[in-house]
Amino acid sequence: MASFIHLNPAARDYTYNSPSGAEGATDESDVLAFHQTLPSYNETTLHTLPALAASLGLSHVLVKDESDRFGLPAFKILGASWAVYRAVLSALDANNDQKKNPMTVANLGAAARDRGLSIVTSTEGNCGRAVARMAQYLGLPARVFVPAYMSEGTRQKIRGEGTEVLIVEGSYEDTIPVIRREAAEREGSVLVLDVGLEGYEVVPKYFVEGYSSMLAESEKQVPKLTGGKAATHAIVPCGAGSIAQAVVQHYKGAQRQKQHGNATVIAVEATTAACLKVSLETGEATDVLTADTIMNGMNCGTLSTLAWPVLSRGVEASVVVTDQESHAAVEEMKGSGIMAGPCGAATLAALRRVCADPHARSLLALGPESIVVIYCTEGSRDYHIPS
C-alpha cells in the first residue's frame, strides 16, 4: 500500500444538516430515552490518558470504552436495539411517536409474537450477537447468517443469545444476497442489517441513530475531564461505515458546530479492508477485496450506500493500520486498564500514525490545544496474535 493516510481537507468545512421530519430521522434525546428503558442500561466510561497526551503533544486523549454495553462487549447493541425496535414497529404498521406515546419493548414483543414475526440478519461478529440479544428482549426467534471464516467461538457466543446460526461460504458480502432471499421468501421475516444497500436504507438509518447515544454520552463526559472544553477531534473505526457515519453526523452536525465549533473526524480501517480510503482516493464508492485480519469487525470490502455520501464529505482523514499496530495498541490500552479488542484499539494505532506524520499532523491541526476522543468500540476478545 503506497500510503497509510489519505487526507480530505475539504471535509473541514462540512456541515451535516439533519433531514428533520424525514423517515428515519429522530432526535438523539429520543434514542437515548429508549436505551435507558432497556435492561442493564449503563453509561460507559470515558477514560483520560494524560501520559499519552503529553507524549504526543496533545491537550487530552480520551477513550470512550464500549467494552461493556448492556452486558455485551461492544457498542453494536446501541444500533441493533433501536433498529430492531423500529423495524418491528414498521412490520406491524405501528410506527409511533416516541415522544408522545412510545410503545414498550414488552408490548411490542407481544404484538410481534402474535403476528409470528422473526428476525433475520448477517454478521461478522458483534452486530449479529447484538441483534440476537434484542430479539431475545422481544421474545422473537432470530436467524443469524455468518461467513464461513468466522471462528467457532464467535458462533457460540451468538448461539448463546438463543438464536440459530447459519454458515455461508465466502465473505460477509456473500451473506447479503442469501439473507435478502431468506427475508423475502420466509413469511414474517424482518430483515435487520446495519449496511445500506440498493433498495434497503431505512433500517440502516436506525442503526446510525442508535449509535448517537454513545456520542451524546461522550459529549457530556468530555467537559468534566477537560475543564469545560469540548472535543476537537474524534477517531472512529470504519467497517461498512455506519458507526463512522454516526460520528460524522454528530460532530459535523449544525447544532454541535454552533455550540462547540468545528471538530475533525478521522476514520480507521484495516490495511486488508480499506474500502473507505480507496473510495476517497478514487472519488467514488469502490469495493475492495478483503483478507483475514484480527480486526474482523472491520473486515468489510463494501461501504454502506447510506454512509458513503456522509463519509466522503465529512471525514478529514482515512487511516489504515496493520494487524501488528492494532495488537500493539491492544497491549498499550491494557497497560492503562482498558481491555480493548483489536477493532477498538485500532483507533489508538491510528492516532499514533497521524501524530507521527508531520504533514498529516499539521493539516489535521493536532497540537497542544487538541482534545481527542477515540472510540474503543469493542472489549477484549481472543484473536491470533500477529507475528
Q: How confident is the model at residue 97 (pLDDT cuts 50, 70, 90)?
A: low
Residue 1: its pLDDT value, please? 44
Asked whether the beta carbons of 315 and 235 are under 8 A apart, the reply is no
277 Cβ contact list (under 8 Å, min separation 6): 6, 269, 318, 319, 320
pLDDT of residue 150: 86
Residues 276, 267 contacting (CB under 8 angstroms): yes
Segment 254-275, tens digit of pLDDT: 999 999 998 999 999 999 999 9
pLDDT at residue 102, rounded to an integer: 80
**According to the model, what pLDDT value does residue 155 have?**
92
* Sequence-ordered alpha helix ranges (H) in the chain: 28-35, 50-56, 76-91, 105-114, 126-138, 152-159, 172-185, 202-226, 242-251, 254-260, 275-282, 308-314, 323-335, 342-355, 358-363
Q: What dihedral angle (degrees, nearest 10) is formed by the CA atoms of 264, 270, 273, 278?
A: 40
Q: Which pLDDT belongs to residue 21?
A: 44
The most confident of the ranges 1-10, 103-112, 167-176 is: 103-112
pLDDT at 91: 95
Angle between helices 76-91 and 105-114 (to 10 degrees): 50
pLDDT of 125 above 90: no
The CA distance from 382 to 373, in Å, is 25
Among 181, 169, 121, 162, residue whose Cα is nearest residue 145: 121
**Would you say 73 and 381 are in contact if contact means Cβ atoms under 8 Å apart?**
yes
Whether 99 has a pLDDT exceeding 80, the answer reads no
Does position 282 have pLDDT exceeding 80, yes or no? yes
| Mean pLDDT value across the chain | 93
* pTM for the whole structure: 0.92
CA–CA gap between residue 56 and residue 271 (Å, rounded): 23
Task: For residue 381, give the nearest of 269, 284, 282, 296 by alpha carbon.
Answer: 296
Q: What was the pLDDT predicted at 124?
A: 80
Which of the residue ranges 147-161, 200-214, 340-354 would you say has the lowest mean pLDDT? 147-161
Find the mean pLDDT for residues 175-202. 92
- What confidence tier does 100 reach under pLDDT thresholds 50, 70, 90? low
Amino acid at 235: I
Q: What is the pLDDT of residue 149?
A: 82
Q: How many degrees, rounded to 5, is the angle at CA 376 between CA 371 and CA 379?
A: 150
List, in order, residues 6 or more apart from 360 with CB less than 8 Å away.
Answer: 5, 7, 317, 354
Lowest mean pLDDT among 121-130, 178-187, 338-347: 121-130
Written as one string, the DSSP assignment of 92-137 is TT----TTTSPPPHHHHHHHHHHTT-EEEEE-SSHHHHHHHHHHHH
Sorted by sequence, the CB contacts under 8 Å of residue 157 that are 6+ apart come out as 129
In contact, 160 and 168? CB cutoff 8 Å: no
Separation CA 316–CA 235 (nearest Å): 10
CB 331 within 8 A of CB 341: no
* pLDDT digits 0-9 by tens, 126-140: 899 999 999 999 999
Find the Cα–Cα–Cα–Cα dihedral 127, 48, 6, 285, rounded to 10°. Answer: 20
On the question of pLDDT at 299 being above 60, the answer is yes
Q: What percent of the chain has pLDDT over 90?
A: 84
Q: In 3D, which of 65, 69, 68, 90 has the Cα closest to residue 78?
A: 69
Q: Which residue in the block uniquely carries the three cell numbers 433498495?
A: 199
In this prediction, residues 336-363 reach a mean pLDDT of 98
DSSP secondary structure letters along 268-282: EEETT--HHHHHHHH
Residue 253 DSSP code: B
Q: What is the grid cell recorded at 10?
A: 475539504
Average pLDDT over residues 145-155: 88
The stretches of 227-341 forming alpha helices (DSSP H) are 242-251, 254-260, 275-282, 308-314, 323-335
